[in-house]
Structure 1
């Protein structure tokens, strides 16, 4: 099993470029997950690193991992207190008239026997905020930069649909799952400030499946 791409590494942190299709947790029906790579990510340390946050199985890009319990606690607190700068890029299955803006919605989880669970915009839900910017448009699809200020489950996916009026391309839950083999969302970069140390700054290159759909990043994007 080949090593996952590492885009940042120091004594207390590793940031990997998680491939699309790799789940964080072992699937119930078996199969490969991040757990299969943990030993190879020790890189000389005694213990394997621990994922600090979540990325959906389909989402590629920057995943921060802590190399010891103290670092895990500090990094988790930084996420909880919104001290982490996160930048995502996604392809909308549609177009938007505006060039930039922000989406503020209260989100709730709903579940049905037929469709399973999903997030919806609901007054009684938890507040969520995403700032966004249009990067490119082609063939009725739009490349969007997302900067989530909060970290709700499926936040960008439901914000695309409910806030921008179009789901992410390939999203089987909030869209029709067509147009791409996966939900087209990529965690492009993250930055975590640290007291007394340089900030963790990581960038994961745009995956090839974005390029195959005709999208690329220009200098200054992200």
Structure 2
């Protein structure tokens, strides 16, 4: 019998064809394993073959606490093709986030270099002049108030570069951290919608032009239930994914952030 996490992944396949699979990854599930990461997508790839003998492989990764579209390649030929499309920047990705504060403009760009900083406690990503060029486009989708009456904003985000933690770093840099972000937000403050806190960041859409002579594959991921309070406060009235809860909170009680890589 598949593990309940594998069942969750199977139940939330958003697209499947002979070349690729797009999952709606639940929040709290890492893309890859590590010394303290016991639950991760890699571990359940054997359950996602769907009749094709090679195990699928991850085409990219999401932060552990980021939900939404995660692209898998079903065989080596498709992996080679997807790698080329990523290299040529032909795969489109957009995200949703609910952030603290009221964004001043309805549309704009955050253009600030990002680099890794190491110290005795580990590493983090920061905006600084010696970092790599990084650019994020944002569009306001809705505005609202949190449970304490403070302004919040629902954003669509398009990363024009692919730095680790780029969206979270950029939003914190301009004073609008993602709600529930323990690294770059205000992790020492009480959660704005009660407990448990969750990172309100969703990989909303992926566009894959796999065949040059056909329409691209366009996949949208419904947000997880853990984002409901923030999205509804900003006017969203669409569907939600039925993930039971954050995977690590469900199986280990660990609510810490453990992985990076938008």
Superposition deviation, residue 3 in structure 1: 4.1
In structure 2, the partner of 1:150 is 161
Q: For 1:53 and 1:153, how far apart are their aligned partners in 2? A: 12
In structure 2, the partner of 1:217 is 236
**Structure 1 gap segments, 5+ residues each:** none
Give the TM-score taking structure 2 as reference length: 0.78
**Residue of structure 2 aligned with 1:122, choices 117, 123, 128:** 128
- State yes or no: 1:161 paired with 2:172: yes
Higher relative contact order (Cα pairs below 8 Å, separated by 6+ residues) = 2
Structure with bigger strand share is 1
- State yes or no: 1:132 paired with 2:138: yes
- Aligned residues between the structures: 217
Superposition deviation, residue 148 in structure 1: 0.9
Q: Which runs of 4+ in 1 moved over 6 A?
A: none
In structure 2, the partner of 1:185 is 201
Q: For 2:33 and 2:126, how far apart are their aligned partners in 1? A: 26
Q: For 2:97 and 2:37, how far apart are their aligned partners in 1? A: 29
The 3 A distance-change label for structure 1 pair 176 and 45 is same
In structure 2, the partner of 1:107 is 114
Give the TM-score taking structure 1 as reference length: 0.91
Matching of residues 1-222 of structure 1 within 5 Å: 1=4, 2-4=7-9, 5-114=12-121, 116-139=122-145, 140-162=151-173, 164-177=174-187, 178-179=190-191, 181-194=197-210, 195-213=212-230, 214-215=232-233, 216-217=235-236
**Structure 2 gap segments, 5+ residues each:** 146-150, 239-262
CA RMSD of aligned residues (A): 1.7
Superposition deviation, residue 189 in structure 1: 0.5
| Partner-residue secondary structure (3-state), 1:198 | coil
Asked if 2 retains the 8 angstrom alpha-carbon contact of 1:53 and 1:76, the reply is no
